[in-house]
Amino acid sequence: MTDTAKNLVEVKNLKKYFSINTGFFKSKQLKAVDDVSFSIKKGETLGLVGESGCGKTTVGRTLMQLYKPTAGSIVYDGKQIKTPSDISEFRKKAAIVFQDPYSSLNPRMTVSDIIGEPLDIHKAYENKQERRERILSLMQKVGLNSEHASRYAHEFSGGQRQRIGIARALAIRPEFVVCDEPVSALDVSIQAQVINMFDELQNDMDLTYLFIAHDILVVRHISDRIAVMYLGKLVEVADADEIYEHPLHPYTRSLMSSVPYPDPKIARENKRIVLSGDIPSPLNAPSGCPFRTRCPHAAEICAQSMPSLSEAATGHAVACHRLKEIS
């Protein structure tokens, strides 16, 4: 992949607010995603990390048009997605893999019907024979035994179910796949099998991924670039190795140092930057920089305005007012 590769996905100033009832006739805006911009090049994997409630899943779902964006634009392959016909066109090229392999598969459908459903919706086959062949080849591709096509989801283990979900996402031969925590529910040994499969499929089918996860070691392994979210906002975007080795934003620094590293010697030497306090509720997000309530470097200016995401080095964007003072 080169720098000249063009952007397949461009997200600009994306906002998604939910209206939450807080009492009789009272409601409040929950800013799940607040002014997020990023782009993904063709063939690239962008990792999106953050803690629970930071809005990373909402970014994925809004991008897939499962939620209607409150504001902002999504440009796919040079074309902005606006009208319903844009959306249905987009969904022939983009797919999503969900986190929970237990609840994202219909228990009353057989595996072949689950994988075949996107084909039915997009009328992607000429006859029954072709439909069946495509389902079986998809099952083979994700490492499922084709003899199991007529079984139901409950007859499979977690790892196998996730493979069914992946086969379903790949059914329409997408170019772009949103992977929403696809390995979080799996055991370590199974997780590694599925991560390898994502790698292979990307090479075979020339896929572009938005890989959403909270496990930094997994994201670092699979991603080319990583974006870090905190309370609905992007705080840092950079190459995977760069952000892991030289995190600049105080939140990213703490996040990277908090990862329990599976090596006793490194773990003993590691100086964890332990943050005080909890993540504020997105319903009462602090003014200015959302991280300032937990930030060891917060100053007056941080309460006044949200710093913009700007390049601190080539390909390394950070949103912090006090970047100069702390680095």
Partner 1 sequence: MPLLTVKDLHTSFFTPAGEVKAVNGVSFNLDAGKVLGIVGESGSGKSVTAYSVLQILESSGKIVSGSVVFDGQELVNSGENTMKKIRGNRISIIFQDPMTSLNPTYSVGRQLMEAILLHTDLSRAEAKKRAIEMLRLVNVNEPEKRMKQYPFEFSGGMRQRVMIAMALACEPDILIADEPTTALDVTIQAQIIDLMQDLQKKMGMAIIMITHDLGVIAQMCDEVIVMYAGSICEQGTADEIFYNPRHEYTKGLMRSIPTVSNSGERLHPIEGTPIDLLNMPQGCPFAPRCDAAMKICIEKRCKRMSINEDHMAACWLNVKSDLEAGIMISETETELVKGGVQLD
Give the nearest distance from C-beta 189 to partner 1 in angstroms: 4
The answer to the question of residue 160 lying near partner 1 (CB under 8 A) is yes
The answer to the question of residue 220 lying near partner 1 (CB under 8 A) is yes
The answer to the question of residue 241 lying near partner 1 (CB under 8 A) is yes
Q: Which span sits near partner 1 by CB under 8 A: 75-83, 122-130, 146-154, 274-282?
A: 274-282
Q: Which span sits near partner 1 by CB under 8 A: 23-31, 59-67, 259-267, 310-318?
A: 259-267
CA distance 177 to 180: 9
The answer to the question of residue 242 lying near partner 1 (CB under 8 A) is no
- Member of 70, 244, 303, 322 binding partner 1 (CB under 8 A): 244
The answer to the question of residue 285 lying near partner 1 (CB under 8 A) is no
Between 158-170 and 111-121, two packed helices, what is the crossing angle to 10 degrees? Answer: 20
Give the nearest distance from C-beta 200 to partner 1 in angstroms: 9
Give the nearest distance from C-beta 84 to partner 1 in angstroms: 37
Q: Which span sits near partner 1 by CB under 8 A: 66-74, 79-87, 169-177, 193-201?
A: 193-201
Between 188-205 and 158-170, two packed helices, what is the crossing angle to 10 degrees? Answer: 20
Give the nearest distance from C-beta 46 to partner 1 in angstroms: 16
- Member of 1, 267, 299, 301 binding partner 1 (CB under 8 A): 267
Q: Which span sits near partner 1 by CB under 8 A: 30-38, 72-80, 167-175, 215-223?
A: 215-223
Q: Which span sits near partner 1 by CB under 8 A: 10-18, 71-79, 112-120, 190-198?
A: 190-198
- Member of 159, 165, 174, 307 binding partner 1 (CB under 8 A): 159
The residues in 41-80 that bind partner 1, with binding defined as CB under 8 A, are 51-52
Secondary structure (H, E, C), the chain: CCCCCCEEEEEEEEEEEEEEEEECCEEEEEEEEEEEEEEEECCCEEEEECCCCCCHHHHHHHHCCCCCCCEEEEEECCEECCCHHHHHHHCCCEEEECCCCCCCCCCCCEHHHHHHHHHHHCCCCCCHHHHHHHHHHHHHHCCCCHHHCCCEHHHCCHHHHHHHHHHHHHCCCCCEEEEECCCCCCCHHHHHHHHHHHHHHHHHHCCEEEEECCCHHHHHHHCCEEEEEECCEEEEEEEHHHHHHCCCCHHHHHHHHHCCCCCHHHHHHCCCCCCCCCCCCHHHCCCCCCCCCCCCCCCHHHHHCCCCCEEEECCEEECCCCHHHHC
The answer to the question of residue 119 lying near partner 1 (CB under 8 A) is no
Give the nearest distance from C-beta 218 to partner 1 in angstroms: 6
Interface residues with partner 1 (CB under 8 A)?
Answer: 51-52, 157, 159-160, 187-193, 195-196, 199, 214, 216-218, 220-222, 240-241, 244, 254-255, 257-267, 272, 274-276, 278-279
